[in-house]
Structure 1
Amino acid sequence: MTAPMFITLADDSWQRAHYALIVAAGALSLGRTVTIFAGGRSVHALAKDWSGLKNITSDAELDNRGVASFRDLREAVIELGANLMVCETGLALTGLTPDTLCKTVSVRGIVTFLEQAGDRPILAL
């Protein structure tokens, strides 16, 4: 059995969030379990509307270049069963509410994420 993967996001970078979704989708496709914890302004990455992220490359441009779009990657990660969490403090910081989040995203604190990760490595993007 392969070890679970734990990914944390902390800023509002579209590029980091997109890459985290690429890594997560790849790991999930290999049968690994994946948990993504979005804290601070990165909670926008797991909101239905991710326009609060900075320096967004449009899905249309990515599609034209043959690159997986943000929407497609996020939907794949959800369908493949990733455990998605956003920080309750990040929600307060951004003014987002639980109903603005994608389906399956839970609101948790960093302690919950760290408890789940235990002594396993955490990939910070």
Structure 2
Amino acid sequence: MARYHELLRFGLVGGFNAATYFGLYAGGVLIGVPYLLSSFLAFVLSASLGYWLHEHWTFKGGAPSVRGWLGWLAAQALATGLNLLLLAIAVDGLGADKILAQLVLLPVTPAATYLVGRRWVFSKA
């Protein structure tokens, strides 16, 4: 049951971070920040907030570190890269619908970051 609650907290933080990313990205674009820079800044800021929330609330470690933060940013970047690779294979290699393919792949990033985070990033997990 404890693992279920941990997964629930992980999902809530992930949803909050997705909204934070989108808000920061859209806000940056609306004030004139180039979209790629806005995307990068929104990624770093939302992933950093996610690291703090996961460390303190999801995994209840409460011992954030620069190493953990950098590990989390790397895990997020690698999971996003994995998603993009699988999406390109599905769409360009297999001819899948672009939207349906991403819908099917939606669980990839959270699953990968949960497993990596739990095993190697967060202090108590």
Quick check: which one's strand share is greater?
1
Report if TM-score (shorter chain) is over 0.5. no
Q: Which has the larger radius of gyration?
A: 2
Q: TM-score, normalised by structure 1?
A: 0.26
Larger relative contact order (Cα-Cα within 8 Å, sequence gap ≥ 6) = 1
Quick check: which one's helix share is greater?
2
